[in-house]
Amino acid sequence: MSNAAAMLKRYIAAALAALRNLVPTAKAAPQQALAALQGMGRTRLLWLAGAILLVVAGLGLALVSGSPSDTNAGIEVKLPPIGGKPALLAPAPDPALVETSPIGPLPIVGPDGRQPWQVYARPFDITDKRPRIALVVTGIGLNRDVSQAALDRLPGPVTLAFDAYAATIKEMVATARSLGHETLIGMPMEPIDYPRQDPGPLTLLASLEPGDNIARLNHLLGESTGYVGVVAILGERFTQAKASLLPIIETIKKRGLMFVDNKTIQESATIQMSQQLKLPWAGANRAIDAEADPAAIDQAFADLENQARRNGTALGLAALSPALIDRASSWVAGLEAKGFALAPASAIANRQTVLLGPP
């Protein structure tokens, strides 16, 4: 046995002896026990306390470890999720909310009336009276590295909108949901300068028959599952063709989804249709372009705060970029101290709208 071990053994023995002497004294005469402790001196009190801790630790280890024959008799303890993040979102897909199709699982309203936009939503305290700000980041999935940075750095209340052309969209949506992010699917629509600006082969076009556009929409929706709705991508020309737009809005409503417009209430061509159909709707109060510099991004965030103070809600629609992730991660971290609630897009639905008269 080493000198250190022998000394430690003597200390523990002395501590136990002191305890044996003190305990009867403490029971019979507390004042005498206190006097005995005071007479021990600071140094002895310190090693006595240390020795007591060692004894207690040894007893604890003995109780936890048990004998070798007890190794299979322990109680199984369920570990928390990796990273300490709670599993906030409901499992997806919910079998009752899925229509099986050749192009993938399509969302539907359940037999009991449950709607995907509510079931797959990130929970939010509806009694929270603070002004709500939602941030929707679009274009997730195309650039894998930048998309992964968004997953790593942006907190769960930020809503992530996935590009339907992303190669691993199903896996990335599942990963985003596991981190607490509510998700949307980007819905490309015909821009004013089409085909010079072409959003891809699944773009909804005013020149197509309604059935063809619905088929394209279903193809977009079948790429993944667990999202709460769709977000408009471009669409200045398509949204002006009401005969083409209405069947799309009806299909989104039929499938129990919400619609996030890339336009404000004042500019939107979808809000009146959405209200008439009772479709959950939210519009972008401020858009942040992928080419925006850090100063412009900061100004856009300041505008969102001002709008939320005035109206109680605001939604920012931001295109994915490294600069956006950098500025947004700092901005959202300070919202609570300013008195705002960072909310998922679903918590903004139908809170920006105004009462419209009959058509």
Domains of the chain: 3-68 (no CATH), 94-347 (3.20.20.370)
Work out the mean pLDDT of the chain and round it to a whole number.
Answer: 82
The pLDDT, as a whole number, for residue 80 is 32
pLDDT at 356 over 90: no
Residue scoring higher pLDDT (9 or 321): 321
The pLDDT, as a whole number, for residue 15 is 47
The confidence band for 19, taking pLDDT boundaries of 50, 70 and 90, is very low
pTM: 0.75
Q: What are phi and psi of 189, to 5 degrees?
A: -130, 160
Q: Rounded to an integer, what distance in angstroms lies between the CA atom of residue 165 and that of residue 208? A: 20
HSE-CB for 348 with a 13 A CA cutoff: 34
The pLDDT, as a whole number, for residue 266 is 87
The confidence band for 290, taking pLDDT boundaries of 50, 70 and 90, is confident
HSE-CB for 300 with a 13 A CA cutoff: 24
The pLDDT, as a whole number, for residue 137 is 98
The pLDDT, as a whole number, for residue 265 is 85
Q: CA dihedral in degrees (254, 259, 264, 266; nearest 10)? A: 0
Q: Rounded to an integer, what distance in angstroms lies between the CA atom of residue 115 and that of residue 287? A: 28
The pLDDT, as a whole number, for residue 46 is 44
pLDDT per residue as tens digits for the range 60-104: 433 333 333 333 322 222 333 333 344 479 999 999 999 999 999
pLDDT per residue as tens digits for the range 134-180: 999 999 999 999 999 999 999 999 999 999 899 999 999 999 999 99
Residue 40: strand, helix, or coil? coil
pLDDT at 297 over 70: yes
The pLDDT, as a whole number, for residue 258 is 98
Average pLDDT over residues 309-336: 97
Q: Which range has the top average pLDDT, 26-35, 50-59, 84-93, 283-292? A: 283-292
pLDDT at 40 over 60: no
Query: Do residues 184 and 68 touch, judged by C-beta distance below 8 A?
Result: no
Q: Which residue has the tokens 């083409």?
A: 244
The confidence band for 52, taking pLDDT boundaries of 50, 70 and 90, is low
pLDDT per residue as tens digits for the range 199-232: 999 999 999 999 999 999 999 999 999 999 999 9
Average pLDDT over residues 323-334: 97
Q: In sequence order, what DSSP letters do the residues of 215-270 get, joined into one string? A: HHHHHHHTT--S--EEEEEE-TTGGG-HHHHHHHHHHHHHTT-EEEESS-TTT-SS
The pLDDT, as a whole number, for residue 189 is 98
Q: Rounded to an integer, what distance in angstroms lies between the CA atom of residue 231 and that of residue 345? A: 10
Q: Rounded to an integer, what distance in angstroms lies between the CA atom of residue 49 and that of residue 86? A: 39
